[in-house]
A = this chain, B = another copy of it.
Amino acid sequence: MSKIKKVAIVGGTHGNEFSGIYLLRKWQQSTVLDRDSFSVETVFANPKAHNDNKRYVDHDLNRQFNVTDLANNELASYEQSRAKAINQQIGPKGNANVDFIIDLHNTTSNMGPSLILLQSDSFNRQMGAYVKMQMPKAVVVFEDHTPVEHHHFLSSIAPQGVIVEVGPQPQSVIRQDILDWMDEMTKHILDFVHLHNIGELLPLIPSYEAFRYHETLSLPVDEQEQRIGMVHHSVQDNDFKLLRNGDPIFTLFDGTEVHWQGDYEAYPHFINEAAYYDNNLAMSLAKKVLITTHG
């Protein structure tokens, strides 16, 4: 990994996830983002959705950054246009102006301060180690099942990008604990990039526990795609807690309990996330992994 010269910090990719939006405003009044070895640019990604107090106006902005879509001028909704404008500002994807993106998100799920990494190269593995050392409460999640150039996330514009995902926080709320966690995690990431740049990283922990995305579960629905059940109370709020084959996972509205049928030890997260209302997603499942920091 060569040096990171330009960093973009993005807030408000989803208009009703308030922590990043208010942190951008707060940081702009100070010098806390400044580091000697790189420059920082802040981007308020979806101001119209925030103004409307919604996740998005027409389409989910954080699904618009696949290369084909960015090149398709017929995709012209508000978020599809914002994606092209942001790609021009800090991209273009494949030959980007910035080297590293931090995209700030909230979840209604009980995920604590989570660092979502899209690649598992040495740079990302070291970043996970550094953040966990500085902030033991942090959870590191690898979503590296797709090559980053095929990702449709905003943070995939640059060669390196991460998602800071902090919850639980209801949409349209600012909780101090959540704001403080996001503030702290972002500063640790910037410190890591600076130490990486000046070659003063070591010693890092040799390995650490993390999670790797495996699959997504949907809520039980009927033939008309109407929900007929909900997340079981024993799973609710238990993000990153072990789920075994046979454990209750859903309660149908008629009282029936549905048990998980799986052949591995699963770690649910994004449990009952409000934003997945549209598509009836219930949760993501990860596998626990031991990440080797070096080599």
Contact check: which of B177, B233, B254 meets A176 at CB < 8 Å?
B233
Does A186 sit within 8 A of B, measured CB to CB?
A: no
Cβ–Cβ contact A108 & B232, under 8 A: no
In the complex, whether A198 has a CB less than 8 A from a CB of chain B is no
Interface membership of A120, Cβ < 8 A: no
The answer to whether B171 and A231 have CB atoms under 8 Å apart is: no
A150 at the interface (CB under 8 A from B): no
CB distance from A174 to the nearest CB of B (A): 5
* B173 in contact with A253 (CB, 8 Å): no
Q: Is A90 an interface residue (CB 8 A)?
A: no
Taking the complex as formed, is A218 at the interface, i.e. its CB lies under 8 A from any CB of chain B? no
Instruction: Please report which residues of chain A, range 50-77, place their CB below 8 angstroms from some CB of chain B when the two chains form the complex.
Output: 53-54
Contact between B175 and A277, CB atoms less than 8 A apart: no
What CA separation (Å) do A90 and B232 show in the bound complex?
Answer: 35
B274/A176 in contact, CB under 8 A: no
Interface residues of A in 206-257 (CB under 8 A from B): 227, 230-233, 236, 251, 253-254
- The count of identical subunits is 2
Q: Which residue of B lies closest to A29 (CB)?
A: B254
Instruction: Decide: A277 and B53 in contact? CB cutoff 8 A.
Output: yes
Quick check: is A22 within 8 A (CB to CB) of the other chain?
yes
Q: What's the tally of chain A residues with a CB closer than 8 Å to chain B? A: 32
Tell whether, in the assembled complex, residue A236 and residue B177 are in contact, meaning their CB atoms are under 8 Å apart. Answer: yes
Mask: chain A, 252-295; 1 = CB below 8 Å from B; 0 = not: 01100000000000000000101101100000000000000000
Contacts of A3 in B (CB 8 A): none
Which one, B170, B175, B254, contacts A171 given CB within 8 A? B170
- Name the B residues within 8 Å of A29 (CB-CB): 253-254
* A137 in contact (CB, < 8 A): no
Report B-chain residues with C-beta under 8 Å of the C-beta of A236. Answer: 175-177
User: Are B233 and A177 in contact, CB atoms less than 8 angstroms apart?
Assistant: yes
- In the assembled complex, the CB of A77 is this many whole angstroms from the nearest CB of chain B, namely 17
What residues of B have a CB within 8 angstroms of the CB of A7 in the complex? none
A residues neighboring B (CB under 8 Å): 22, 25-26, 29, 53-54, 108, 168, 170-177, 179-180, 227, 230-233, 236, 251, 253-254, 272, 274-275, 277-278
Q: List 18 A-B contacts (CB under 8 A).
A: A22-B227, A22-B230, A22-B253, A25-B253, A26-B253, A170-B170, A171-B172, A173-B274, A174-B230, A175-B231, A175-B233, A175-B272, A176-B230, A176-B231, A176-B232, A177-B233, A177-B236, A180-B233
